[in-house]
Chains A and B, each alone.
Chain A
Amino acid sequence: MTFFSELGRRLLMLVRRHQFDRELEEEMRLHQELREQEHLGAGMSAEEAHYTARRHFGNATLTQERSRDMWGWSWLENAMQDVRYGLRQLRRSPGFTAVAVLTLALGIGANTAIFTLIDAVMLRSLPVANPGQLYRLGDNNNCCVMIGTQNGGSFVLYSYPLYEHLRDDTTDFSEVAAFQPFLSDLSVRRSGVASAAEPYKGEFVSGNYFTMFGVGAIAGRALSSSDDKSGAPPAAVMSYHTWQTHFGGDPSVIGATFTINTVPYTVVGVTPPGFYGDTLRSDPPDFWLPLAADPDRWLFSAEPEWLYLIGRLRPGVAPERVQAQLTGELQQWLGSRPEVIPERDRGDIAKQHIHLTPAPSGVDQMQTDYAAALRLLVTIAALVLLIACANIANLLLARGAADRSASALRLALGAPRARLIRQKLTETILLAVAGGAAGLYVAYAGTRTILLLAFRGAHYIPISPKPSLPVLGFAFFLALVTGVVFGAAPAWIGSRADPADALRGAGRSTGDRTSVVQKPLIILQVAFSIVLLIGAGLVTQSLRNLEYQHFGFVTEGRLIVNIAPSLAGYTPDKLDGLYQRLEEALPRIPRVLSASLSWYSPLGGNNANEGVYIHGKPPDYRWTAPSWDRVGPHYFETIGTRLLRGRAIEERDTPAAQRIAVINETFARRFFPKEDPIGQHLGMGDASHSGDYEIVGIVEDAKYQDTRGPAYATFFLPLLQTPPGEPLRGWVGAIELYVAGKPEDLEPFVRKTVAGIDPNLTILRVQSFAEQVNLNFNQDRLIARLTELFGLLALILACVGLYGVTAYAVERRTNEIGIRMALGAGRRNVLGLVLGSALTQLGLGLAIGIPAALAGGRLLAGQLYGVKSYDPMILGLAASILAGCAVLAASVPARRATKVDPMVALRQE
């Protein structure tokens, strides 16, 4: 109580401090006057009475100040004074302030941008109820379909019957939901609307998916278990983002019928804004559909393992116990299903286990993919901020030296050193906070750019570049720390001014503490800059190597069009007709030189592999299963892959004709190391199929999946050839066009041609082959561009720093230079004198920085392609660029030094 009433009185004092000040003054004046009258009454002279009264009272100003201290607000008043003083100081030198704020904005902005991403990607939980209760059944991101035991025994993909078993037998979860690990292409048309079907992304999920996440619907209702039963009317849930951007938030969407992949679904609801499903990724699902609604799903087969599971653990349940129980159930289940685990693998059942991992952020796909890149970017951004700090510290030092006489004078007049330091620090913190505020804008723009670079080709990224509360806090904290870091040394040095200097006159002090700190800062800047420049050189070269490598195909002048006949309701017997019509119509499009069809095209994100059986050879389990693709006539010439021997797949390879295959070099080398592959036979499934296809040709190796490693062993089959009685797998998903001129310009003609053949055949995507390949390097490009940008920034900052320090040295040594020249030193000597010092700093910086870059390069080595981390060319280039710029920066003030007129310099004395 007493405390609060005291605080109340203090606050009153603060608010009415001017009135209280006046009253105090009046009161003290009365005191002195009364005393004076008393002395007069005692017979003193008027003058004597006045001074005696004054003397007895003491220092009235000091007394008043001490009285004011009693109110307890002097710290605030001092701080306000310091802030006003700081602002005045900054306004006095707008050039310095602008450079400093800009430098800081870039430094803090870069770090805040990276932190925004880290916050969004690494730290944020799913926008669902109590994400801390979510656990994933599995610890890796293996995709997409497996059979039998799993990699390392750690189960992550589950068959539907196994899911049902675990869901119904484990009481420790309130819900366990299942969903597809990847998104499916959907062909969607709103019923009653005359437009063509449009491509969307969908995810098939178990009925309790939304119940498990605790996510309702913002309009309509979410999916429920009753939607996920065979025979239930097909229901779908639309994402908020899709509802807003594609349907304008139209409320009539809820309850409307949409034809999705030829099946009529009712859209029963819209998810809340911000919900993007179980995995943070670009282009999240537009629709969520029940697993049971999909006719192609393996709901009743225990063999294919194709679902990820996430469960919500009941409060108070120990995950370790549940994990052990799940593993027990898994092993028991596998043991009772001979059709799932073949005889030869039964010994591995005891090794199969379920690792229950906390999943507050769902499936950590992006988190895993971008961890290394983000770590690298954090390091780089921190380096840039350090360089910026060093630079501003240097500028402050030079400026501090300029107002040293002012500081000396204030010290001489009795200003406490602590107050001087506090004022300087206040000034730098003001700078830092201004820089931080400007940095927020840089961060916003930077994050947007980074997202565009990182997710080139995406339509929608569920990450907001707007700074969140933690990001704002981070930026403010960073600004404060930065202010203290770059302000501490200059403030301390500034306060060491010798009061005697003020009396002696400026510029005569011999001890120069400023340069003692300045030079190491420059050396440090040079060192950091060379590390960044070498890093930028390495990742840029690596990106170039990746982009311009020999892929085994040619991207120039090629257009790739993705389609999905299955989504338009095609059945296997109708495919032949569709393929023929496409093969006839596509080459007739003007400017098309050659056209072909295939299951999938290189580096488009698709790859199929399957065990192969060679006629007359025992199965070889040493190798991972080779890749395979289905391609039509002219495929290899259209994408620019060279035929090395035999023949390619041609028009004559119809379903009825003899079944043939074309293999690549690696396939030939691996499976036929000694004999001629042509004329040999291969097949899929089991050994009885080893005679299915005859090898008729060999093509050069081409990369289809992994851009860094060697091409996979691959075999190619005709579009429709399949052994009798086997279902046709590998329907056409890609059209390749080799065109004269810009491939992108062909898009409208292609769309028209395809629509002319079948208006329901949805075009999922049209892009140039070059763009399709380029999307594989999004992360490398992101790192390269940012490192280049940061490297350039570091270079500029280091040069500005070196210029500033040299200019400052020249100014301080004008007298000395004048005397030297008067004594006969030539311009060359003077130039050497000034440049020598700059070159020493440069040399020392390089001497520290290059070994550091070499050490750092080894950490980078894993991300580099075709370039060694100690590449001498890049090392030399980076060092010469930095040296060149630095010498240029230092020579400007050095040349000014040679123009010093000895007479003028001496007269200044």
Chain B
Amino acid sequence: MLGGVPLHRDEIPPGTLYLLILRTLARGGEMHGYEIADSIQRISEDVLQVEEGSLYPALQRMLIKGWVKAKWGVTAGDRRARYYQLTTLGRKQLAVEVSQFERVMRAIARVVQTA
């Protein structure tokens, strides 16, 4: 990072970005990209920082995979924006990712606690 970022934030662990997006969309219904990034940041109480740009390749991949669908709408500020919404396939994927994440976390926790 070149610029002096005022707050120190942790980068999200690799591979969990999809999980975060899926979970956010599951909770929030229809959201556009900025709202998703914002939401992740807020709910993590500013600990997790999505490198904002990386959100978009991830969203494109999820569109291709059919986990989310998108349609164009208008924001509160009267701007055109693309709203993303979870599909049935996306919900299934979320379940998969959550269980995977919990498995990994439990494993890590075990390793850390045994020490």
Contacts and interface: CB of A to CB of B under 8 A. Distances in A.
Interface in B31-78: 32-34, 37, 51-54, 56-57, 59-61, 63-66, 72, 75
B81 interface: yes
Given A30-B34, A30-B81, A31-B34, A63 B53 contact: yes
Contacts of A67: 56-57, 59-60
Nearest to A56: B52
B13 interface: no
B3 interface: yes
B3 A70 contact: no
B34 A63 contact: no
Contacts of B3: 52, 55
A30 B32 contact: yes
Contacts of A26: 80, 82
Interface string A27-38: 110110111000
Contacts of B63: 9
B8 interface: no
A34 B60 CA distance: 20
B64 A71 contact: yes
Most chain A CB atoms below 10 A, which of B51, B59, B60, B72: B60
A460 interface: no
B110 interface: no
B79 interface: yes
A626 B59 CA distance: 94
A72 B81 CA distance: 24
Residue of B33, B52, B72 with most partner-chain A CB within 10 A: B52
B57 A70 contact: yes
Contact of B60 (A30, A31, A70): A70
B64 A72 contact: yes
A363 to B, nearest CB: 61
Contacts of A6: 64-66
A10 interface: yes
A94 interface: no
A2 to B, nearest CB: 7
Contact of A31 (B2, B37, B65, B66): B37
A275 B89 CA distance: 61
Interface residues of A, number: 33
Given A9-B66, A67-B60, A35 B54 contact: no
Given A57-B53, A70-B61, A72-B64, A27 B82 contact: yes
A686 interface: no
A27 B33 contact: yes
A481 B9 CA distance: 54
A55 B37 CA distance: 15
A35 B63 CA distance: 24
A545 to B, nearest CB: 74
A9 B63 CA distance: 8
B64 A2 contact: no
Contacts of A52: 3
A799 to B, nearest CB: 56
A114 to B, nearest CB: 49
Contacts of A71: 60, 64
Contacts of A66: 54, 56-57
Contacts of B2: 55
Max chain B C-beta neighbours (<10 A), residue from A26, A31, A58, A66: A31
A5 interface: yes
Contacts of B65: 6
Contacts of A740: none
Of A58, A62, A63, the most chain B CB neighbours within 10 A belong to A63
A41 to B, nearest CB: 12
A759 to B, nearest CB: 86
Nearest to A38: B38
A13 interface: yes
A28 B56 contact: yes
A30 B64 contact: no
A161 to B, nearest CB: 78
Contacts of B72: 23
B66 A5 contact: yes
Contacts of B57: 63, 66-67, 69-70
Nearest to B3: A55
Contacts of A34: 34
Contacts of A68: 60
Contacts of A63: 53-54, 56-57
Most buried by B among A5, A34, A57: A34
A130 interface: no
A52 B5 CA distance: 9
B15 to A, nearest CB: 15
A9 B67 CA distance: 12
Nearest to A8: B66
Contacts of B75: 30
Contacts of B80: 26, 30
A35 B81 CA distance: 14
B41 to A, nearest CB: 10
A23 B82 contact: yes
Contacts of B79: 30, 33
A221 to B, nearest CB: 63
B52 A24 contact: no
A35 B60 contact: no
Interface string A42-73: 00000000001001111110111011111110
B60 A27 contact: no
A31 B33 contact: yes
Interface string B4-25: 0000000000000000000000
Contacts of A13: 64
Contacts of B82: 23, 26-27
Contact of B51 (A2, A31, A58): A58
A435 B56 CA distance: 45
A801 B98 CA distance: 66
10 contacts: A9-B63, A30-B34, A31-B33, A31-B52, A58-B51, A63-B53, A64-B56, A67-B59, A67-B60, A71-B64
Given A26-B82, A62-B53, 6 more contacts: A5-B66, A24-B60, A27-B82, A30-B80, A31-B34, A67-B56
Interface of B: 2-3, 32-34, 37, 51-54, 56-57, 59-61, 63-66, 72, 75, 79-82, 89
Q: Which 4 A-B pairs have the closest CB atoms?
A: A58-B53, A63-B53, A70-B60, A66-B57
